[in-house]
Amino acid sequence: MLFRTRRLAAVSVAVTAATALVAGCTSGSASTSGASGDTLTLWTHNAGNSVELDVVKKIIKDFNGSQDKYKVKLQAFPQSDYNNSVVAAASARKLPCLLDVDGPNVANWAWGGYLDPIDVSGSEVPVLSQLASTVGRYNDKLYAFGFYDVSLAYFARKSVLNANGVRVPTMDKPWTKDEFNAALAKLKKSGKFEYPLEMGTGGTGEWWSYAYSPQLQSFGGDLIDRGDYKTASGTLDGENAVEWATWFHSLVAKDYMAKKSGADPNKDFLAGKSAIQWDGSWNAAKNAEKLGDDLAIIPPVDFGNGPKIGGASWQWGMSSTCSNKAGAQAWLKFSRQTKYFVDYAKATSTIPATDAAAQQIADYQPGGKFDVLVQFARKYAMVRPATPAYPYISTEFEKASKDILAGADPKDALGQAAKSIDNNLKTNNYYSN
Amino acid sequence: MTSFLKHLGGHTVRIVLALVFALPLVFMFVSSFKPDDQIFGDLDSLRAFLPVGAMSLDNYTAVFERVPAARFLLNSVLISSITVVLGIVVNSMAAFALSRMRWPGRKLVLTAIIATLIVPFETFALPLVWWVNQLPLLTVNGFHLEWSTGWMDTYQVQILPFVANAFSVFFFHQYFQSIPRELDEAAIVDGAGWFTIYRRIVMPLSGPAVATVAILTFLPAWNSYLWPLMVVQSEELRPVMVGISYFFQLNVGWGQIVAYSSMITVPILALFVAFQRSFVNSIASSGVKG
Amino acid sequence: MPTMFAARERLRPVRRARTTNARRRESFTAFGMATPAVVLLIVFLVVPVALAFTLAFTDARLVSPTPARFVGLRNFTLLFQDPTFYKSLRNTAYFAAVVVPLQAGLALVLALLVNAKVRGVNFFRTVYFLPVVTSMVVVSLLWTFLYREDGLVNHVLSTLTLGHVQGPDWLGDPATAMPAIILMSVWQGVGFHMIIWLAGLQTIPAELYEAADLDGATRWHRFLHVTWPGLRATRTFVLVTITIAALSLFTQIRVMTQGGPLDSTTTVVYQAVHSGYDQQQTAYAAAVSLIFFVLVLSVSLVQRFLTREKD
C-alpha cells in the first residue's frame, strides 16, 4: 500500500514539477517588467526601426551615465503588435515603468489606468514650448509627451504634373476638391498610370484613421461630435461625411486609386507606378534623395473645410503600476533636452516638437527643404479625438472605410459605424470613471 | 481490354486529383527558393512548379534576419511536446480509473466527460480568455515564489487548457476495455497495486493507443492559432502559427512568406510520410470509435 | 467471450475475499488517477462554458477601471440590432450548407478511389492527405497568394481555357470571396474524412460484395445496396464532425479576408473574436459565444435525432 501510494505520489509530483517548470520559464519575462529596485524597465514600439531605436538607446546610455541612482533597461517590440502587448501586459499587471504610446491612444490608456499623470516641470524644455499635438493630455492632466510629430503630404513629380497640365499647389493656394478631381482625371487619361493616386489602401489598423479621417474632417465631417464626445451619430454619418464617403468611393470606381495597394506603396510611387502619393513625412527624405528637385511636397487638399492632417505621434509616459515613480520621472525629465529633440528629428526625418530644435536642423529651418512639412503640422494638424473610446472608434472607422471602398452604400456604412460607436459609448457608461 | 481501360480511367482521375492536392504545396516549396520577381514571372508556365532559375536560400536567411523564427519554432516544439506528454499521462490515468476500477460516481464522471465531446473550443474560447486572466499565477523570481494574478502571456496558458481532453480519455477508455481484465486480477493476486497495473501492465500493452493520442494531440497543438493569438503577445513566447501570421502583416515579399511556410510545414509533412501508417490509423480510429 | 465469463466465475471467490479495506483503497487510487483530468476539464471547460452564460449578462471588459456590472439582456438587444451579426449567421450557414455535402461527398469519392485493389493506391492516399497535415494558417496564407488577381489560380484558369477566362480578384470581390474560401477549406479538409470513410469501407465484409457480384449487380447497385448501408455509423460521424468544424469557421477568415469585403465572409466565431479580442468587449463576445453554443448544440442534437430515426 505504502509502496503504491508512493508511486502515485511520485507521478503527481512529476506532473506538478513539469507544470512548475513551464511556469518557471515564464518568470524570465515576468521579472523584466516594472522595476526592480532602482532598475527601471522601458518599452518601446520601434524594434523594427533601428534609427529611432538608436536615439532611445543613446538617451538611456546618457541617463544611466549621468547619475548613479537609477538604471533604465530597454525592451523593444515590433510596432505591429506593440499595442496588443501593452494591453496584455496591462491586463496581466506586468507593465514596465516607462513606455511609449501612440498619441491617439493616450486617453484610452489613461482612462484604463495603464498610465499615471506625469510631472516634468523644471526640465530643460518646457512642455508649453512644444507643438500642441505632441503633448498627451487627458482630463486636463499631462500623461505623455513626444519628441516629434509627423505630417502627411501629397508627394508627386513636378515634371509629371507639369506635363499633364496640373498646377503644383502651395500652402497659400492648396488644391480644391474640383481641382484635385480634375488633376486625377487628367493623369488617368494620360494612360501612363493604372492608378494615378496612391493612398496606401493596402495598409491595416491605425493607418486608416490616421490617413483618411483628416480628409473626412476637411469635408466638414468628423469621427465623433467633439462637443461632449458622447455621440457619433449626425457627425460621422452627417451630410458632409456622406459626401466624403461618396468621393472616397469614386476614387476606386473611376480607377484613380487601387482598392487595395501593393505591399510597398512608396516603392511603387518611386518606381513611377503612381503619380501622386499620400504619405507620411517619414518618407520625405527618401523621396527627396531619389527625385531631387523634381519632388513636389504638396499640402493636403482643401475639401471645403480647410486642409487637414492628423496630429500626434508616439509619446512617452509612465505606467500606473510603476514601483519606482521617482526614477521614472527622473528619466522623463532628463530626456527633455533640446539635443534629443534634434536627434529624433534628424534620425527619423520627422518634425521636431519645438522651435528650438527645428532651428538646429537646416532642412527644417524657414526656407529649408522640409520646412513646409513643419508648416503643415503647425497649420493643418488636428488631433484624433481625445477620448478613451478612440481605439474602438478607430476600428469602426477602418471597417466602414474599407466597406465604402468595396462598394457599400456610404450612408449605410457610416450610419452603422456611428451607431456602433454610440452603443459602445453607452454600454461603457461614456467611459466615466 | 475493357478492364485495362477501366483501370486507366480510374487512374486518370486519381492522377488529376493528386495534382490538385499536391501542386499548391509543390508550388509553395519550390517558390521558397526563388526571388520574388521570378515567382511572378514563372506563374505563366510549368516553371511555377519546377526548381529552375535563380534558386537560393536568400528567402530563408531573410526570414531569420527579420524575426526570431527559430525561437518561434522552439516555442512550438516545447508547447506541443509538453502538451502531448502531459496529455498522455493525465488522460490515460483517468481512462484507466474509469474503465478498469470500481468506485462511486464512475458512471457519472464517464458520462459527463463524453458529454463534453460535442462542445467545440470556439464556443468558450472568449470567456476562457477572461477566465485565465483571473487565475492565480505562481512565478519564480530569483529564490522567491511570488503569487500574482492572470495567466496572460505565459507558457502554461498555452499548455494546461489542452492537457485534459475528453476525446483522449474516451479513446483510452475504449482501448483499455479491449485488454483482458484477467491480467488485473492475476496481478492483484500477486500483490500488485492498481497503479502498478496501470504502469506495468496496461500502458505497455497500449502502444497503438498512445501513438494515436499523441498524434491527435500534437497536430492541433502545433497548428493552434486562435488561442495563442489572443493570450500571447510577447515575441519570446510566440508559437509558429501566430509568428507567421504576424510575419505576413509585415508586408514582406511572397518569397519570404512561402519560405517561412515551408519551414514550418515540410518537417511535419516529412514526419507524416515517415509515420504514415500511424497517422492514418489514428485518424481512422478517431472515426470508427467515435 | 465464453472463456472470459468462465474466467470471471473462477475468480469470483478471490474477489469476495477482498476486504472492504481493499475496496476503499481501490476507490482512493481511482480518485487520485481521475482527479488531474477531471480538475483540468472543470477549470478549462466547464467553468468557461458557465462563464459564457454569466458574462453575457454583464458589461465585463478585459481591462476596465470599473468592476463588471450586471446589465440584463442588453448585450443581446445590441446583438440582435447589429446587421453584421445577421450577416455572420448567414455566412456561417452558407459555408456549412455548401461545405458539409461537398466535403463529405468528395471524401467518399476519394475513399472509393483509394479503396480499389490496384497498385499505387497508397501513394494516392498519401498525396490526398497532405493538405490535412498542413496547418490552416499556412494553407490560408498560401491560397491568399494563389487567389490574387494575377495569381496562380487565374493563370491556370486562363491556360486551361486557352485564354477565354480571366479570373476575378477572388478574395477582393464580395461575390467570389466566400466560394473561394469554401473551395480552399474543402481542399484542406477532405483528406481527413476520406480516411474516416475508408475505415468505414474496410469494415464492410468482402462476402457481401462477392454475393452482389454473383447476383450480377452493376457497380452502382453494388454501391447502393452494399456500400451505402454499410456506412451508416460512419455517415453520422462524418456529418457531425464536418458540421461542427464548418460552423466554427475562423482561421481562414482571420488570415485571408478579416470578414470583408463588405462583410461577405464574416462569421459568428470571427465576430466573437473581433469584438472580444480586437475591441476588448468581453461581455459582448460572451453573448456571441453563447448564441454560437446554442447553435452548435441544437444542430448536433437535430442531426443525432435525424440519424437515430432512420436506424
- A257: helix, strand or coil: strand
**Contacting residues of C for B160, CB less than 8 Å apart:** 40, 44
Domain count, chain B: 2
Task: Name the residue facing A427 among C74, C261, C263 (closest C-beta).
Answer: C74
Share of chain C above pLDDT 70, in %: 92
Interface test with B, best of A16, A22, A95 (most B CBs within 10 A): A22
CA distance B290 to chain C (A): 7
Q: What is the pLDDT of residues B132-160, one digit of tens each?
A: 988 888 777 667 777 777 788 889 999 99
Q: Are residues B147 and B175 in the same domain?
A: yes
pLDDT for A29: 38
Is the per-residue pLDDT at C5 higher than 60?
no
Model confidence over B208-260: pLDDT tens digits? 889 889 988 999 999 999 999 888 877 788 999 999 988 887 767 899 999 99
Rounded Cα gap, residues A252 and B174, in angstroms: 60
Verify whether the Cβ–Cβ distance C137 to B265 is below 8 Å: no
What is the H or E stretch that residue A200 is in?
none
For the stretch A53-81, pLDDT in tens is 899 999 999 999 999 999 999 887 777 66
Secondary structure element (H or E) that encloses residue C148, with its range: none
Domain boundary (B11, B27, B56) is at: B56
Q: Same domain for B29 and B74?
A: no
Cα dihedral A28, A31, A36, A41 in deg (nearest 10): 90
Confidence check: pLDDT of C176 > 90? yes
Look at A90-94, C223-227, C269-273 and tell me which has the smallest mean pLDDT. A90-94
Residue A323 CA, distance from chain mean position: 28
Using CB atoms, pick whichever of B153, B159, B193 lies closest to residue A22. Answer: B159
Structurally, what CATH architecture does the domain formed by C78-310 represent?
Orthogonal Bundle (1.10)
Q: What DSSP element (H or E) covers A207?
A: helix A206-218
- For chain B, the straight-line distance linking the first and the last C-alpha, in angstroms and rounded, comes to 43
Contact C244 B120 (CB under 8 A): yes
Mutation choice for B interface testing from A1, A16, A27 by most B CBs within 10 A: A27
Which segment, A160-174, B49-63, B172-186, is predicted with the most confidence on average?
Answer: A160-174
Give B48's contacts in chain C (Cβ within 8 Å).
152, 155
Q: pLDDT category, B2, cuts 50, 70, 90? A: low
Residue B214 domain flag: yes
d(CA B195, CA B256): 51
Instruction: Report chain A residues whose CB lies below 8 A from the CB of B252.
Output: 263
CATH number of the domain residue B151 falls in: 1.10.3720.10
Chain A contact present for C280, CB below 8 A: yes
Average pLDDT over residues B164-176: 92
Cα-only R_g, chain C? 26
Residue A174: pLDDT over 50 = yes
Mean pLDDT of B97-118: 89
Per-residue model confidence (pLDDT) at position A10: 55
Angle, CA A272 vertex, CA A52 and CA A398 arms, to 5°: 60
Cross-chain CB nearest to C130 (options B22, B91, B180):
B22
Task: Determine the residue among A86, A420, A430, A431 to mutate to test chain C binding: the one whose Cβ has the most chain C Cβ atoms within 10 Å.
Answer: A420
C16 pLDDT above the threshold of 90: no
Residue A384 lies in a domain: no
Count how many domains chain A has: 2
- What is the pLDDT averaged over residues B267-287? 81
pLDDT digits (tens, 9 = 90+) for C105-124: 999 999 999 888 788 888 99
Query: Residue C156: is its pLDDT beyond 80?
Result: yes
Going by their DSSP bridges, the two strands A276-280 and A152-157 should be labelled as antiparallel
Task: Tell whether C202 is within 8 A of chain A (Cβ).
Answer: no
Contact A30 B253 (CB under 8 A): no
| Tens digit of each residue's pLDDT (9 = 90 or more) over A292-339 | 999 999 999 999 999 999 888 899 999 998 999 999 999 999 999 999
B195–A29 C-beta distance less than 8 A? no
- For an interface test with B, which of A36, A44, A81, A114 has the most B Cβ atoms less than 10 Å from its Cβ? A81
Task: Name chain C contacts of A139, Cβ cutoff 8 Å.
Answer: none
Domain match, A52 and A71 both: yes
Q: What is the mean pLDDT of chain A?
A: 87
Query: Do B26 and B133 fall into the same domain?
Result: no
Of B86, B236, B251, the CB nearest to A29: B236
Predicted TM-score (pTM) of the model is 0.85
| Whether residue A234 sits in one domain with residue A100 | no
For residues A291 and A243, membership in a common domain is answered with yes
Closest-CA distance, A322 to chain C, in angstroms, reads 17
Contacts of C62 by beta carbon, 8 Å cutoff, 6+ apart: A87, A91, B129, B130, B133, C276, C280, C282
pLDDT over 90 (residue C100): yes
* Share above pLDDT 70 across residues of chain A, in percent, rounded to a whole number: 91
With respect to residue A224, please indicate whether it lies within any of the assigned structural domains. Answer: yes
Other chains touching A, judged by 3 or more CB pairs under 8 Å:
B, C
C26 touches chain A (CB under 8 A): no
User: Which residues of A have a CB under 8 Å from any CB of B?
Assistant: 1, 3-4, 7-8, 11, 15, 18-20, 22-31, 48, 77-78, 80-81, 84-85, 87-89, 91-94, 202, 204, 263-264
Residue found by looking up cell 517561412 in the block: B260
Tell me if A15 is assigned to some domain. no
**Is residue B257 assigned to a domain?**
yes
Residue B61 domain-assigned? Answer: no
Residues A299, A331, single domain; the answer is: no
- What is the least distance, in Å, from the CA of C256 to any CA of chain B? 10
> Is some CB atom of chain A closer than 8 A to the CB atom of B3?
no
Give residue A319's domain range: 34-149+313-371
Answer yes or no: do B163 and B39 share one domain. Answer: no
Half-sphere exposure at residue B76, Cβ-oriented, CA atoms within 13 angstroms: 26
A234 and A157 belong to one structural domain: yes
What's the N-to-C CA distance of chain C in angstroms?
A: 27
* φ, ψ at B104 (rounded to 5°): -65, 135
- At B162, the amino acid letter reads F
Indicate whether A279 and A411 sit together in one domain: yes
Residue percentage of chain C with pLDDT more than 90: 46
ipTM: 0.88
pLDDT at C291 over 50: yes
Chain C residue numbers with beta carbons less than 8 Å from the beta carbon of B122 are 248, 250, 269, 272, 289, 292
Cα separation, A419 vs A392, whole angstroms: 12
pLDDT (0 to 100) of residue A328: 94
What is the CATH number for A161? 3.40.190.10
Residue B229 lies in a domain: yes
C 116-145 residues with CB below 8 A of B? Answer: 116, 118, 120-121, 123-138, 141-143, 145
- Cα(A247)–Cα(B231) distance, rounded to whole angstroms? 40
> Within this chain, do residues B6 and B85 fall inside the same structural domain, yes or no?
no
Average of pLDDT values for A395-403? Answer: 93
Q: Has residue A87 been placed in a domain?
A: yes
Q: What is the DSSP string of A23-51?
A: HHHHHHHHHTSSEETTEEEEEES-TT-HH
- Average pLDDT on C242-269 reads 91
Decide if pLDDT at B1 tops 70.
Answer: no
Do A321 and A184 sit in the same domain of this protein?
no
**Quick one: A87 and A192 in the same domain?**
no
pLDDT of res. C181:
96
Q: Is residue A379, in this structure, part of any structural domain at all?
A: no
Nearest by CB to residue C45, choosing from B96, B109, B116, is B116
Same domain, B51 and B74: no
Whether the pLDDT of residue C25 is over 80: the answer is yes
Q: What is the 3-state secondary structure (H, E, C) of B18-76?
A: HHHHHHHHHHHHHHCCCCHHHHHHHCCCHHHHCCCCCCCCHHHHHHHHHCCHHHHHHHH
Residue A32: pLDDT over 50: no
Q: What are phi and psi of B124, to 5 degrees?
A: -125, 10
Q: Are residues A396 and A407 in the same domain?
A: yes
Domain that includes residue B208, residue range: 66-289
Tell me which residue of A28, A102, A115 sits closest to A325, measured CA to CA.
A115
User: What gap in Å lies between CA A177 and CA A183, rounded to an integer?
Assistant: 10
Asked whether residue B13 is domain-assigned, the answer is yes
Q: How confident is the model over A247-280, as pLDDT tens digits? A: 999 999 999 999 888 878 898 999 999 999 999 8
What is the H or E stretch that residue A319 is in?
Answer: strand A314-319
- pLDDT of A117 reads 95
In whole angstroms, what is the distance from residue C289 CA to residue C56 CA?
A: 9
pLDDT digits (tens, 9 = 90+) for B20-61: 999 999 999 999 999 988 998 888 888 889 888 888 999 999
Separation CA A328–CA A116 (nearest Å): 11
Chain B contact set for C192 (CB, 8 A)? 283
Closest chain A residue to B152, measured at CA: A92
Report residue A417 CA to chain centroid gap: 21
Q: Give the one of C63, C174, C278 whose C-beta lies nearest to A91's C-beta.
A: C63
Let me know whether A96 and A162 are in one domain.
Answer: no
- Among the listed residues C126, C148, C134, the one whose alpha carbon sits nearest the alpha carbon of residue C188: C134
User: C194-206 pLDDT, tens per residue?
Assistant: 998 988 888 888 8
How far is B255 from B258, CA to CA, in rounded Å?
Answer: 5
Residue A9 has a pLDDT of 52
A360 in any annotated domain = yes
